């Protein structure tokens, strides 16, 4: 999505403060900006207690509206109910193109499904402990741990580090299967697939798919690191940026007469 498209996509960002970390707010909103413009930003919780004290400075700095919801009784999450009611009210206004639901709570599974039934896009944000039911109910799900990553951890680097053999025991077999299936589905008769289409298919099949989970900032870097695919950067005739194509090395055949620029 280019910058012009982003500016026209109106998003409502609804944060379950009881199930989100204030330290993730800044990178989270930066991630939201990739998908559109946050026309509404609300955080829900019992702000009279001490449990949400760390949120105050972030609410002010990011112009997030705090929505007060008292905990009327023990064991019942009134915050979730308030967020869901507000989400439906905002949905019925018809002023938004999508919703960003920030929580690691499965209680929002039905809400996400209902919003998608109305034809709007749902972006979920939560920790890796988020139940799969909520993850699967979203169009795209981003783990907040990925938003605060600096350098890849040793574990993440081992998972898909560059290798010379497809039998290397450090290969994440589930990841390789996902990549190969997506490349095959997106490829033409020559086996080459547009990487952007591959990424779209991966997200469709696994809303929580994110190259950052494996320690790589971009899908191109992740695919290259597996050493299982050819990477071809093709320069369009109109001078636009190079377009990346990939092909499974197992299905690769010699090509003739190409004027493309090959990746590493």
pLDDT score of 252 more than 70: no
pLDDT score of 102 more than 90: yes
Q: Is 149 exposed, middle or buried (0-12, 13-18, 19+ CB in 10 A)?
A: middle
DSSP letters along 108-176, please?
A: GHHHHHHHHHTT-EEEEEE-TTS-HHHHHHSSEEEEHHHHT--SPPHHHHHHT---S-TT-TTS-HHHH
SS3 36: coil
- Segment holding 247, helix H or strand E: strand 243-248
Structural domains present in the chain: 3-147 (3.40.50.1010), 154-262 (3.30.420.610)
Q: What is the pLDDT of residue 159?
A: 44
pLDDT score of 90 more than 90: yes
Confidence at 63, pLDDT banded by 50, 70, 90: very high
To the nearest 10°, the Cα dihedral for 65, 78, 135, 244?
Answer: 0
Q: Do the Cβ atoms of 132 and 102 come closer than 8 Å? A: no
pLDDT score of 250 more than 50: yes
Mean pLDDT of 37-49: 92
């Amino acid at each position: 999505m280019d910058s012009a498209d982003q500016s026209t996509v109106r998003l409502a960002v609804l944060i379950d403060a009881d199930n989100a970390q204030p330290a993730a707010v800044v990178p989270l909103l930066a991630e939201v900006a990739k998908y559109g413009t946050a026309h509404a930003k609300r955080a829900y919780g019992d702000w009279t207690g001490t449990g949400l004290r760390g949120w105050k400075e972030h609410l002010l700095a990011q112009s997030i509206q705090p929505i007060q919801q008292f905990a009327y009784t023990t064991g019942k999450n009134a915050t979730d109910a308030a967020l869901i009611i507000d989400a439906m009210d905002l949905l019925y206004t018809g002023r938004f193109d999508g919703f960003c639901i920030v929580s690691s709570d499965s209680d929002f599974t039905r809400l996400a499904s209902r919003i998608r039934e109305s034809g709007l896009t749902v972006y979920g944000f939560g920790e890796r402990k988020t139940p799969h039911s909520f993850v699967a109910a979203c169009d795209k799900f981003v783990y907040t741990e990925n938003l605060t990553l600096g350098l890849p951890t040793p574990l993440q680097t081992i998972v898909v580090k560059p290798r010379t053999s497809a039998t290397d025991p450090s290969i994440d077999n589930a990841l390789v299967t996902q990549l190969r299936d997506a490349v095959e589905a997106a490829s033409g008769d020559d086996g080459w697939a547009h990487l952007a289409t591959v990424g779209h298919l991966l997200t469709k099949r696994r809303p929580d798919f994110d190259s950052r989970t494996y320690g790589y900032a971009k899908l191109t870097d992740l695919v290259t690191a597996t050493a299982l695919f050819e990477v071809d950067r093709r320069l369009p005739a109109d001078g636009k940026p190079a377009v990346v194509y990939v092909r499974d090395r197992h299905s690769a055949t010699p090509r003739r007469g190409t004027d493309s620029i090959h990746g590493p």
